[in-house]
Structure formats: structure tokens, C-alpha cells
A and B are shown apart, each in its own frame.
Chain A
Amino acid sequence: AQRVTQPEKLLSVFKGAPVELKCNYSYSGSPELFWYVQYSRQRLQLLLRHISRESIKGFTADLNKGETSFHLKKPFAQEEDSAMYYCALRALDSNYQLIWGAGTKLIIKP
């Protein structure tokens, strides 16, 4: 069965420190992976998708098929990065349904 695991419910780092939010997945097919973010009092929104291979707000994520991971990274955290982050997988053999991780709350300390 498809599954997305975000092992950290809460991650707290200091401003300027590197950030890595972990995401591991279980899926036998070829996955499409995404990171969504929800800032305080704002709507959940797409941050980035692995196909795009782009950096958004300084964040990058590389799909590692060998380790079945899609970790989200940023070299220097900023206070405005504090938010809830969700990793999601698109299951091609489940009618494109998105499988969601439990989310990681990122707190950037000043």
C-alpha cells in the first residue's frame, strides 16, 4: 500500500540554521511527490513538486528513489518559514489520488 511518512511532528531550528524536513514514501510504482505548506492563518498551498526541480522560497527537494525519500531542505532558515509542511505522493495506480503525510510543524526560533 502507498504510504507517506513524515517522522517529525515538530521541528525547531534557529534562524540562519539549515533545515531538513524528512519525507519517506512507500510506493511500488513511479512516484510523483509534492510539498505543501500552510502558514499561520493562511490556506494550504503547493510549495514545490519534484518534477519541477525548482527552488521555491529557498527550499529544494530531491527525489531519492533508492532511499524512497523526498526531503525538503533549506540552507538558511528564516522566521517566515515557520509553518506546517505536508509531503504528498500521487499514486498513478490509484486514480491520481494524493497520499498525504501527517505533516511537520516547523518553528524557526529568532
Chain B
Amino acid sequence: GAVVSQHPSRVICKSGTSVKIECRSLDFQATTMFWYRQFPKQSLMLMATSNEGSKATYEQGVEKDKFLINHASLTLSTLTVTSAHPEDSSFYICSARDFGQERYTFGSGTRLTVV
């Protein structure tokens, strides 16, 4: 079945630095990928839709200059958290759909801790 790989699984960074998270579709091409954020004991919140070869579409309230998304190829989308602060500490998850299937596949998530 479709596999989505996320890297790194865990990252700790200092406040004010930037962190890049990668999301790869391993055995299929994905023109669209999605990025979610999840705080402890809460549900997943959709942050943005990543579109291959064009600008990402951000959900209301999500700062596009803080959460930079690049979808340069059909198998890779990256999320960069710029000038990270402790309140950005969260679980970030990506997903993509193999167009041969109805459902979406999710990555295993990235635990970001900003200290």
C-alpha cells in the first residue's frame, strides 16, 4: 500500500532557529500533500495544503511566513518552521493520497520541541 515517510521523527531546537520537516511519498506520486499540527490531547488541525509546483494554500489563522511549505517534486513536500518559539512545540503530521486509492495516507509524525 501507499507509504508516506516523515523525517525527522523527533527534533529539539533552540528558540529563534528554524526547523525543516520532510514528507515523502515513497511508492506513489502526490501532487497534493497536507500538513497538520496536533497539540497534546487534541485533534489534528489542518495547517495547509501543499501543491506541487505552486504556492501552498494555508488555512485561516496559519501564518504563511512562519510555516514555509515547499513542494518541489511529486514525492517531496517540506515544512519549515521559521524563528521557532516554545509555543510552536507540537506534533506535525503530513498526509498524501495515491490517486489510485480513495483514502489518504499519513506520515508517522514529527515531534518538535522548542526550548
Q: Do A and B bind each other?
A: no
On B, residues with C-beta under 8 Å from A are none
On A, residues with C-beta under 8 Å from B are none
